[in-house]
Chain A
Amino acid sequence: MDAIAGRKPAVVWALNISVVLLVALWLFPTLGLLISSFRTGDQITASGWWSALFPAEQTLQIRAADPDDNRIDLGNGRFLVEGNIFDGKAFEGEMNSWATSSRDLGANAPGATGDLGDDETFTLNADGAYRWEGNDDQISGRAQRVFIEVTTPPDFTLQNYNFVLFDEDNSEGMAKAFFNTLTVVIPATIIPILIAAFAAYALAWMDFPGRALLIAIVVGLLVVPLQLALIPLLSLHNAIGIGKGYLGVWLAHTGFGLPLAIYLLRNYMVGLPRDIIENAKVDGATDFQIFTKIILPLSFPALASFAIFQFLWTWNDLLVALVFLIDASGQTTVMTKQIVELLGTRGGDWEILATSAFVSIAVPLGVFFAMQKYLVRGLLAGSVK
């Protein structure tokens, strides 16, 4: 189409720009969270995450040391306070200017001496060293305030991750929830695949009465909202003694994942070449052998697709875990639940929220980017008809 119509550069530009805008719209929300997770709480509340990438100009307001304790008598009724305005703390960034009054910000260059009137002087160097000199009256009482305009380079920290993941004293940490989620996800991904693969083979390649009906039922169950299953199944679990716990959540995820698994795998297996299967049958292979030796290896892409779906779904799930897993003890909480808790209790502590959320997002994102090919294939097999 390009070759025939030819495309004006203006159109190409417009196209590129609109795609850039679209991509930005979809990327920035996540990026904002990611950047925030590397900032301290003070930084997050001081400025938006979008300004964290650039050197920031800000005005610091600091007091000199307490004159009554620190002044040195110079004689002649003159007194001096000396020290470092940053208190010896390493200061990253550059001092642009400073002032002793909020009304004339930027009055003095670093290293200059400011005149406060009546022979009171204040000298501030770029490294923060200062000299404050004056008479008895001036160098006493409250310490002199200094307004310093500084440019700080982008500053990121790992301390949030350290706190959220590794701090033993942090009762709201994510480490435990992370392992709980993992414990839910792995069996809940593997078991339905196995069950579904056999069923899909039977529905694809074995002839028996009722096959069409079964397929129709699977297609129907595909859209049944799992909300319906909550109370009956919880009662059932309680009645047979599973109660709330990992076993219950594994079974529930297996049941809820099966329709999609069977549907995806059957669609894929039906498309495998008939010759291979018939030749194997002629050679005397049983259905079991055909399935394990031929169908299963050939179906790897479909198996991988479903595995990713089920992994993402179980990892990201909140409702099933709330109903079937998490009991009053809170020992089995998963990450999604933990984050909802944090939203309630630490609503304003964005450094904790952002970091916790990103810890839970990171794994599925990694899986997503590593296995995108299979994910796309699975989606297409499941939907395009």
Chain B
Amino acid sequence: MNPALQGLITIIIGVGGCVGYFYGANLFLDKVLFKPTGPNAGRNITRANMIRPWLFLMPAILALGIYLAYPVFATLRLSFLERLPGNQYAFVGFDNYTKMFAEPKFIEAMRNNVLWLVVVPAAATGFGLLAAQLTDRLRWGNIAKSIIFMPMAISFVGAAVIFKLIYEARPEDVAQIGILNHLYLLFGGAEPQQWLQIPFWNSFFLMAVLIWIQTGFAMVILSAALRGIPEETVEAAIIDGANPFQIFFKIKIPQIMSTIVVVWTTITIATLKVFDIVFAMTNGQWETQVLANYMYDKLFRANDWGMGSASAMIIMLMVTPILVWNVYNARKEMQ
């Protein structure tokens, strides 16, 4: 069947099914199961209202349960197992983890991930804050913001192509078409560099892609937070003779600190999961491996589900503090 047609049918079945389910289930509840008439009308209405929320929630709970909650436990279980021929599994305890920690490629991935986690959120939040503050009172600020925000719509893979063009190196005697090498030679560099093949520093060239994408996100949110600062606090500081830097660092930053933390953690999570950029640009060669790509390698190239799951659990473990913190905050807020 033509996939487009299949897609159309799925939309109709999916949407129709959802609407039909919600409508039908409510109808069944009100008209058949607990009729709001007759001698038990009051009791029936109460019962119907006890069940109704679960009708509304059922599809979501099912989808969340199967697609997000169950895999966490299944992956945890897989990480303690070894797959044997014939779809058999053997319990191996922490073997997958110890084997993994003994692998230089994994250590390299861990090191790079930590590097990414330090650099990308800091740089993206910093640039975002800078852009938010600079464009705040500018007449063409909204256009500037739009352009800095734009990479957000570009896929990691598209961005990988964009930056590969920037990093492109050609032989010394022909024209450079990568702007980085062009500028490098212009400012006295000796010969064109293969930027993505210089160990250690190449990770930073990959990080630039994510920073470029995430800065807009940080800017949009921090810009709204800056706007939300009460004018009086700034005015009072000016009257007290504070200079612009003092106003920014001592008055504004403390007031938007909680937003900065939210932005920082959100970008941290995005950074932890970074896969496409490394996959498309270096595929972990030249010491640029990161955890998500290491995991993909293990799962789908080496077909080692045990170690693949173990490395996925490492990612989960790194996310957990943020998860706990988010839940804690959300609960605090609801009370």
Q: Are A286 and B326 in contact (CB-based, < 8 A)? A: no
Residue B130 is within 8 A (CB to CB) of chain A in the complex: yes
Given A232-B70, A259-B64, A383-B263, check contact A29 B312 (CB 8 Å).
no
Given A26-B147, A225-B312, check contact A183 B63 (CB 8 Å).
no
- Interface range, B side: 35 or more
Contacts of A49 in B (CB 8 A): 165, 177
> Smallest CB-CB separation from A361: which chain B residue?
B158
Given A231-B299, A332-B3, check contact A32 B68 (CB 8 Å).
no
Given A286-B30, A340-B280, check contact A254 B63 (CB 8 Å).
yes
Contacts of A46 in B (CB 8 A): 175
- Closest CB-CB distance, B129 to chain A, in whole Å? 12
Q: Are A183 and B7 in contact (CB-based, < 8 A)? A: yes
Complex: how many Å from CA A22 to CA B78? Answer: 47
Q: Are A246 and B6 in contact (CB-based, < 8 A)? A: yes
Contacts of A48 in B (CB 8 A): 175-179, 182
Q: Are B74 and A246 in contact (CB-based, < 8 A)? A: no
Residue A162 is within 8 A (CB to CB) of chain B in the complex: no
- Closest CB-CB distance, A218 to chain B, in whole Å? 7
Given A227-B292, A319-B276, A365-B150, check contact A357 B11 (CB 8 Å).
no
> Smallest CB-CB separation from B311: which chain A residue?
A227
Complex: how many Å from CA A323 to CA B275? Answer: 13
Complex: how many Å from CA A312 to CA B272? Answer: 20
Interface of chain B, main secondary structure: helix
Complex: how many Å from CA A340 to CA B10? Answer: 28
What are the interface flags for B143-174 relative to A under an 8 Å C-beta threshold, 1 for contact and 0 otherwise?
Answer: 01011111111111111111111101010001
| Contact among B234, B269, B279 with A318 in the assembled complex (CB-CB below 8 Å) | B279
Complex: how many Å from CA A31 to CA B7? Answer: 34
Complex: how many Å from CA A206 to CA B161? Answer: 48
- Interface range, A side: 35 or more
Centre residue among A211, A221, A227 by max chain B CB count within 10 A? A227
Contacts of A252 in B (CB 8 A): 67
Complex: how many Å from CA A4 to CA B141? Answer: 21
Q: Are A336 and B74 in contact (CB-based, < 8 A)? A: no
Complex: how many Å from CA A46 to CA B168? Answer: 13
Residues of B whose CB lies within 8 Å of any CB of A are 3-4, 6-7, 10-11, 14-15, 18-19, 22-23, 26, 30, 49-50, 52-54, 56-57, 59-61, 63-64, 66-72, 74-75, 78, 127, 130-131, 134-135, 137-138, 141, 144, 146-166, 168, 170, 174-179, 182, 212, 215-217, 220-221, 224-225, 231, 234-235, 238-239, 244, 258-259, 262-263, 266, 269, 272-273, 275-276, 279-281, 292, 295-296, 299-300, 305, 308-309, 312-313, 315-316, 319, 322-323, 326-327, 329-331, 333-334
- Pairs A–B under 8 Å by Cβ, sample size 26: A22-B130, A23-B144, A26-B147, A26-B216, A32-B165, A180-B3, A192-B63, A214-B57, A219-B330, A220-B326, A224-B323, A225-B292, A230-B299, A232-B70, A232-B75, A252-B67, A256-B67, A288-B26, A318-B276, A336-B155, A353-B161, A360-B158, A364-B154, A365-B153, A367-B153, A385-B262
| Nearest 8 CB-CB pairings of A with B | A255-B67, A316-B155, A232-B74, A199-B60, A368-B153, A202-B56, A229-B71, A357-B161
A-B contact sample (13 more), CB < 8 A, given A26-B151, A222-B326, A231-B312? A199-B59, A206-B52, A223-B269, A224-B319, A225-B312, A227-B315, A230-B312, A319-B296, A353-B161, A354-B161, A360-B158, A361-B153, A361-B154
